[in-house]
Amino acid sequence: MEAAIGVLMVCPMSLYLEQELDKRFKLFRFWTQPSRQEFLKNHAESIRAVVGNATAGADAELIDALPKLEIVSSFSVGVDKIDLNKCKKKGIRVTNTPDVLTEDVADLAIGLMLAVLRRICECDKYVRKGMWKMGDFKLTTKFSGKTVGIIGLGRIGLAVAKRAEAFDCPISYYSRSKKPNTNYKYHSSVVDLASNCDILVVACALTPETRHIVNREVIDALGPKGVLINVGRGPHVDEPELVSALVEGRLGGAGLDVFEQEPEVPEQLFGLDNVVLLPHVGSGTVETREVMADLVIQNLEAHFLNKPLLTPVV
């Protein structure tokens, strides 16, 4: 391998990944630069790879600023923060980390469903405040047997379905096209899906077509007893509409791991006990982040050795 290939990491994501990149390449940490313009002026010519994640990737501006860019390797499965069309046009390769995080995201989706329906976080808070008196309870909502509606029956959607089935939950889904080889009930519109399920889960990729796929109409269809779970991307949901529906009681509850402007989360949600909020931890396990980091490294090594990429998107 050539010496000192410049790799630009756009935001902090994994100390382990930084260490491994340091060993093999000349790693630049974008977020530590006092002036990004200065930095790019001085170092752009040496940067041949960008490492991004769900928070920050490679938009048109950055791609244009890096004339020697050959590959963008994302520490995520979602590539919505990368200008894929521009990469295609310029022959820049793009890789992501599919499969290795599928189970963690699906586990979290179910965990959020249980936390919301069974009020696990709310009751934990109640006990810690010393408020428990004998016989004092509020009925919570049974999870087993509830209909789970999945938007996007890809790897993550299927993994959510498999887990929910173990709780005897009937599964229905919306997808761009009906999937062969499943017994799950297909709905040709998200509104239709939302009208016919108890729990709606967002598990599709974020593209211009799926932005705000959960809008006011869908939220209304889901209704005051319905629960929304978002483990996709914040922009999948019209966030102001979601907030007002929850505040006004028009939606039964929500479990959200992602938001439109992370790490900013609408404060009106903080006081709602039927809402569980997480700081984008879908793939956030020690085990999976290490495997994801290894995959980023392997893709970069393969590229610079002129070997086939392991998980190319473009």
Partner 1 sequence: MATPIQKPSSPRQQLGQIVHLGLSSFLNTHHKEFSSKFQILRPSESKFPLDQFFTAEAQNTQAAICSGGFKLSADILRHLPSLRLIVATTSGLNNIDLSECRKRGISVINAGNIYSADVADLAVGMVIDLMRKISAGNRFVKTGLWPKQGDYLLGSKLGGKQVGIVGLGSIGVEVAKRLEAFGCKISYYSRKKKPCVSYTFYSNIHKLASVSDILVICCALTEQTRHLINREVLLTLGKEGLIVNIARGAIIDEKELVRCLLQREIAGAGLDVFEHEPRVPQELFGLDNVVLSPHFAVYTEGASRHLEEHLIGNLEAFFSNRPLLSPVLDDE
Question: How far from 15 is each of 21, 39, 49, CA to CA, in Å?
Answer: 10, 22, 18
Under the binding rule (CB under 8 A), the answer on residue 183 touching partner 1 is: no
Under the binding rule (CB under 8 A), the answer on residue 118 touching partner 1 is: yes
Q: Which of 41, 68, 124, 268 binds partner 1 (CB under 8 A)?
A: 124
The answer to whether residue 187 is catalytic is no
Q: Does the N-terminal peptide bond of residue 263 adopt cis geometry, omega within 30 degrees of 0?
A: yes
Helix (H, G, I), strand (E, B) or coil at 185: strand
Q: Which stretch binds partner 1 (CB under 8 A): 58-66, 72-80, 283-291, 294-302?
A: 283-291
The pair of three-digit structure tokens given for residue 137, joined into one six-digit string: 């309870």
Under the binding rule (CB under 8 A), the answer on residue 163 touching partner 1 is: yes
Angle at 90 between CA 305 and CA 78, to 5 degrees: 75
The pair of three-digit structure tokens given for residue 35, joined into one six-digit string: 């002036």
Rounded to whole angstroms, the Cα distance separating 12 from 18 reads 9
Q: Which of 20, 83, 103, 241 binds partner 1 (CB under 8 A)?
A: 103
Contact 75, 53 (CB under 8 A): yes
Angle at 155 between CA 118 and CA 117, to 5 degrees: 5
Under the binding rule (CB under 8 A), the answer on residue 135 touching partner 1 is: yes
Q: Which of 145, 224, 240, 249 binds partner 1 (CB under 8 A)?
A: 145
| Shortest separation between residue 183's beta carbon and partner 1, angstroms | 16
| Shortest separation between residue 291's beta carbon and partner 1, angstroms | 9
Rounded to whole angstroms, the Cα distance separating 209 from 34 reads 37
Q: Which CB, 60 or 281, lies closer to partner 1?
A: 281
Contact 107, 287 (CB under 8 A): no
The answer to whether residue 233 is catalytic is yes
Under the binding rule (CB under 8 A), the answer on residue 126 touching partner 1 is: yes
Under the binding rule (CB under 8 A), the answer on residue 115 touching partner 1 is: yes
Site for partner 1 in 6-35 (CB under 8 A): 12
Which residue type occupies 187?
Answer: H
Rounded to whole angstroms, the Cα distance separating 130 from 151 reads 40
Using CB under 8 A as the binding criterion, the count of chain residues that bind partner 1 stands at 58
Under the binding rule (CB under 8 A), the answer on residue 182 touching partner 1 is: no
Q: Which stretch binds partner 1 (CB under 8 A): 62-70, 73-81, 183-191, 287-295?
A: 287-295
The answer to whether residue 165 is catalytic is no
| Shortest separation between residue 267's beta carbon and partner 1, angstroms | 8
Per the DSSP assignment, residues forming a β-bridge with 200 are 149, 228
Selecting among 93, 233, 236, 303, the annotated active-site residue is 233
Which residue type occupies 45?
Answer: E
Site for partner 1 in 244-273 (CB under 8 A): 262-265, 267, 269-270
Under the binding rule (CB under 8 A), the answer on residue 111 touching partner 1 is: yes
Question: In the 3-class helix/strand/coil scheme, how is 161-184 assigned residue by residue?
Answer: HHHHHCCCCCEEEECCCCCCCCCC
What phi, psi does 42 have (nearest 5°)? -85, -30
Rounded to whole angstroms, the Cα distance separating 172 from 308 reads 37
Binding mask 58-87 for partner 1 (x = CB under 8 A): ------------------------------
Residues at the interface with partner 1 (CB under 8 A): 12, 103-104, 107-108, 110-112, 114-115, 118, 120-121, 123-124, 126-128, 130, 132-145, 162-163, 165-168, 262-265, 267, 269-270, 276-281, 284-289
- The residues carrying an active-site annotation are 233, 262, 280
